[in-house]
Structure 1
Amino acid sequence: MAPPGQWRRIEALPTDVFRQRSPRLASLATQWATERAFLQEQGAEGRLIEQMKNRMAVETGVIEGLYTLDRGVTETLIAEGFSSSLISHADTDRDPQLVVAILRDQRTAIDFVFELVKYQRGLSTSVIKEMHVLLTKHQPTTTAMDQFGNLHEVPLLSGDWKTVPNNPTRPDGAVHLYCPPEQVSSEMDRLLDLYNQYASIGVAPEVLAAWLHHRFTEIHPFQDGNGRVARLLASIVFIKAQWHPLVVLRDDRPAYIDALEDADGGKLQPLIQLFSSWQTRAFVMALGASQAAQKPLETHLEDVLAGLRERLTAQDAPTRTSTLDDVADVVMAVAERACEQIALRITDSLGTALPGLSATATVNTPDKAQAYKGPRIELARSGGYFADFTRGSRWARVMIRPSPSSPTTTLLVASSALGSSLGSLAVVCGLITTDPGTDRAQTTRVCEDYFVATMTDIESDDNKRRLQQQFEEWVTASLVIGLAQWQRDLG
């Protein structure tokens, strides 16, 4: 293997990930297949897909530095569509009309990918070149460096392989070598041969998408636009599996670059894990949309059914099968221990300097089941789903008071059912602080990642241990991030 940063011929899928498959993602996909049918019946799926396409179209250009866009305007464009009337000059660093033209090009390319899958067109070099043409319709030039190290604009070869090297120089002065122009055609043929081979034998979507994306970027066949094309290629894999397109948000960029560099060094696993986390995020949003579609019609019915479930399963306790409440019990037992450990560390570290400080850990009990209802609703809404208080509803928290007269700060870990069927549990971590000016509580999510667990995770002792270990890592990291956020808020 060539050292990281140097070009090498693309490699086959590593044997250590060849048969890898995420049971949790597979379970989410099964649940989504059921709830997707309901959305289709209600005519609501189209709206969800439109917003996913729009979000991908916006973010794929932001992370490449084609333009900047205000976050609020971004949400408006995702909801309303692409119009220059929605963008002011203060919202972006480019001409709003040009930004909209590029957004529409990127949206057209995404639509092309969906149509490609719908009509079962095979992936070929001509198809990939067609994607590039669509993406770069309003990008006539790209930035190049001359032999003296000066940057200047040159005409972009739209839909054609590069004819000169496009090797970037890193901040440390090292040059990252991509495939030489004369090798591009043969390397692309090999990429597609391997892709078709892996697709035919059922390599897991998250593995195949990560491999295809990375190997394409190793070749870097186009003069510019390779990252955008790579995300479209990964999206093809996911859409074929009836999952969701690959949406990489601007805040994801550092982790994304790190994972790609790990893959350059021969470690594909971090990129697979990242793609898995983004698919989980997409499933959470999609299942939240299913909840939104059903909630107005079924709120009362769901409450009644939840009560019936509790009573009927209680009557049949000896043969009772696992439920989402069992999953919640497993993860929140871990959350309780993590909260206790954090509270103890706070007391040990700060208690001498702050004699009046108190830090306590608590979990919900039946008499406190409805506590923190407002913050839990707000946290779920920020994640795109409903806080369902009838299934899997649990909470654990660390409450911190620097002195008896100080307002409290709370780190809250909350779980609830995800979607309208029985399959998944979403866990989120939030920070509840008190605004000194208004004395009102404010709730913010401490990190973008959710933790999603399914009933598959407790089907066996091995699965349960794996779930506990993974959740312990997530919840501990989330609580630490929450403490760091509180520290920043204190100034």
Structure 2
Amino acid sequence: MVTGDPKFTYDDVADADARYEPIPTFSEWLGSAVVELAAWDEARDRIAVARGRADVEVLARAREMVARVAAIETGLLEELYEVDAGFTFSAAFSSALVAQATLKEVEEEKRNLIQSQFDGYGAVIDLVTGQRPLAEAWVRELHGLICAGQTHYRVLTPAGWQNHPLEHGAYKTSPNHVRQGDGSVFSYAPVHDTAPEMRRLFEQTDSEEFKLAHPAAQAAYVHHSLTRIHPFSDGNGRVARAVASVFTFRELSVPALVFGHQKQEYLRTMRLADRGSVQDLCVFIARCGTGAVDMFVRAIDIALEEAAEDLASAISALYETSAGYTHAQVDDAAAELVKAFKEAVAEELDAVRHDNLDVNSTMSRNDYRQPYRAGYRPPVEGKHFNTVTVEVSTPSPAGSSEKVHLRVEVPQDTTNETPFYLHSPVHGVEYTFPSDAVLPSISAAARVVARLAARDISQKVLKAVLAKARESLSKGGY
């Protein structure tokens, strides 16, 4: 075996080796590319506020929750396994016991892969929180951890497909150039150049230019360099995404979270970077960091609530949006989001229902007097529900009730930067859903966020009912 193509000859390999271009210096790579600072600074401000209202233990728990999502998604991107949104939610956002029970329910091979990816992202957090420097030896250790659940990798040889043992933490000993769909060959670092190239990479990460750069540019450079070198026989993408997360964790306390539904955009920016245009990759990596912040903040909310043991826009003109979807498609997506949120709320409330606690969730279409935020509207189509009502009540003598209406707010002009909102103007509760996770149909990532929002609002309503019930008992002389 010399490559993934049985038609390769040793002359072909020598030619591919010769055409490999060494990774550029950081300054050469970055060129004139820039990172949009507004969204990053806003995310950093949100993290600062979140840190101010949570202790070290809660922050660590929330950070681990989001890291687990990134760990699951990194395997989904490479099609190592398939899992649904319910698995991701339970494995990432539940208690340690529930998460372990969730893992035990899947087949051993899948469980081992996911657990090793959890361990890999745990090592990233340990590196950052321990303020250790990023080093070549650590990357090899990371490969050993994140790929520990994978014992072999498939190789197409002249004799057909074969399973070869995967050496954990060891650089490749055979060329891994690939023949692309158009018949051309993409050259990775030759075997004899792999170790020198890795040393060059970390010489760059020690340079002043690199240290002064924006974290998203740092993450994008290291990620792209690792994928260009392709230092390991397999697992290079998983390692690159984890190492890129070092820089987003340092700045925002979150990983560079690439969801499965973003795979085509991710690959597009990588192909552009391979051709020397790195702007889109820098922007994409920045969005992977800032996009994880909302999940991190919501995870803090859940962690804080769970720590309390007593708690069981104007109609748009008729034209296509900037993202290319019609308003009818946007309205359909909003209706699907309302339905997914309602179902998630029902699951949360059904889990706590008992004789003295009446819980209910419904969908309806309401006309609100409160104005929508600038640039947003309700779904125009009358056939669509636009509201989820969450209601909890208790009977006498501790009679009480609490009802929350959450309406969907739709961008008048949908772009990748204009999210959907579920919003209660009266109660000041709001949940955010990125447009590319809702359109053209609701993604697994959006369902995870919907489940997070459902748990949060259920806890808030139950807490309000508990306070009112205690007051009712007191007034009744009990």
Regarding TM over 0.5, the answer is: yes
Q: Is 1:83 aligned with 2:83?
A: no
User: Which residue of structure 2 aligns with residue 9 of structure 1?
Assistant: 22
Q: Distance in 1 between matches of 2:138 and 2:78?
A: 22
State the AA in 2 paired with 1:342.
Answer: Y
Q: Is 1:24 aligned with 2:39?
A: yes
Distance 1:135 1:398, change over 3 A: closer
Q: Distance in 1 between matches of 2:228 and 2:320?
A: 46
Q: Distance in 1 between matches of 2:251 and 2:50?
A: 16
User: Which residue of structure 1 aligns with residue 148 of structure 2?
Assistant: 137
Task: Tell me how far 1:46 sits from its aligned partner.
Answer: 3.0
User: Which residue of structure 2 aligns with residue 429 of structure 1?
Assistant: 420
1:124-273 to structure 2, matched below 5 A, reads 124-147=135-158, 150-197=160-207, 201-273=211-283
- Count the aligned residue pairs: 348
Q: SS of 1:164's equivalent?
A: coil
Distance 1:144 1:60, change over 3 A: same
User: Which residue of structure 2 aligns with residue 36 of structure 1?
Assistant: 51
**2:36·2:283 contact (CA, 8 Å) conserved in 1?**
no
Q: Distance in 2 between matches of 1:259 and 1:253?
A: 10
**2:210·2:218 contact (CA, 8 Å) conserved in 1?**
no
**What do residues 22-53 of structure 1 show as CA deviations (whole Å, max 9, x unaligned)?**
23212320231132121227x53233122112
1:61-460 to structure 2, matched below 5 A, reads 61-80=75-94, 82-83=99-100, 86=103, 88=105, 96-147=107-158, 150-197=160-207, 201-289=211-299, 339-342=316-319, 378=341, 393=373, 395-397=376-378, 399-400=380-381, 407=383, 413-414=409-410, 427-429=418-420, 447-448=435-436
Q: Distance in 1 between matches of 2:262 and 2:89?
A: 17
* Further displaced range: 116-125 or 203-212: 116-125
State the AA in 2 paired with 1:447.
Answer: S
Task: Tell me how far 1:175 sits from its aligned partner.
Answer: 2.4
**2:20·2:188 contact (CA, 8 Å) conserved in 1?**
yes
The two structures, once aligned, show a CA RMSD in angstroms of 4.2
Task: Tell me how far 1:342 sits from its aligned partner.
Answer: 2.4
Distance 1:15 1:227, change over 3 A: closer
Identity of aligned residues (%): 23
Q: SS of 2:199's equivalent?
A: helix
Q: SS of 1:151's equivalent?
A: strand
Distance 1:344 1:39, change over 3 A: closer
Distance 1:265 1:86, change over 3 A: same
Distance 1:119 1:83, change over 3 A: closer
Distance 1:265 1:200, change over 3 A: closer
Q: Distance in 1 between matches of 2:173 and 2:55?
A: 46
* Further displaced range: 6-15 or 264-273: 6-15
Q: SS of 2:178's equivalent?
A: coil
Q: SS of 1:399's equivalent?
A: coil
TM-score (norm 2): 0.62
Q: SS of 1:241's equivalent?
A: helix
**2:103·2:111 contact (CA, 8 Å) conserved in 1?**
no
**1:400·1:408 contact (CA, 8 Å) conserved in 2?**
yes
Distance 1:50 1:117, change over 3 A: closer
Greater RCO between the two (CA within 8 Å, min separation 6)?
2
Q: Distance in 2 between matches of 1:391 and 1:292?
A: 29
Task: Tell me how far 1:391 sits from its aligned partner.
Answer: 11
Distance 1:271 1:449, change over 3 A: farther
Task: Tell me how far 1:198 sits from its aligned partner.
Answer: 5.2
Q: SS of 1:237's equivalent?
A: helix
State the AA in 2 paired with 1:203.
Answer: A
**What do residues 27-84 of structure 1 show as CA deviations (whole Å, max 9, x unaligned)?**
320231132121227x532331221122122111121222222332222222335536
Q: Which runs of 5+ in 1 are unaligned?
A: 90-95, 298-331, 351-357, 362-371, 383-388, 402-406, 416-425, 432-443, 451-477, 483-491
Q: Which runs of 5+ in 2 are unaligned?
A: 1-14, 308-312, 346-368, 387-406, 412-416, 423-431, 442-478
1:474-489 to structure 2, matched below 5 A, reads 481=440
Distance 1:399 1:20, change over 3 A: closer
State the AA in 2 paired with 1:245.
Answer: P
Distance 1:85 1:240, change over 3 A: closer
State the AA in 2 paired with 1:137.
Answer: A
Q: Distance in 1 between matches of 2:239 and 2:47?
A: 27
Q: Distance in 1 between matches of 2:305 and 2:125?
A: 29
Q: Distance in 2 between matches of 1:65 and 1:166?
A: 19
Distance 1:171 1:199, change over 3 A: same
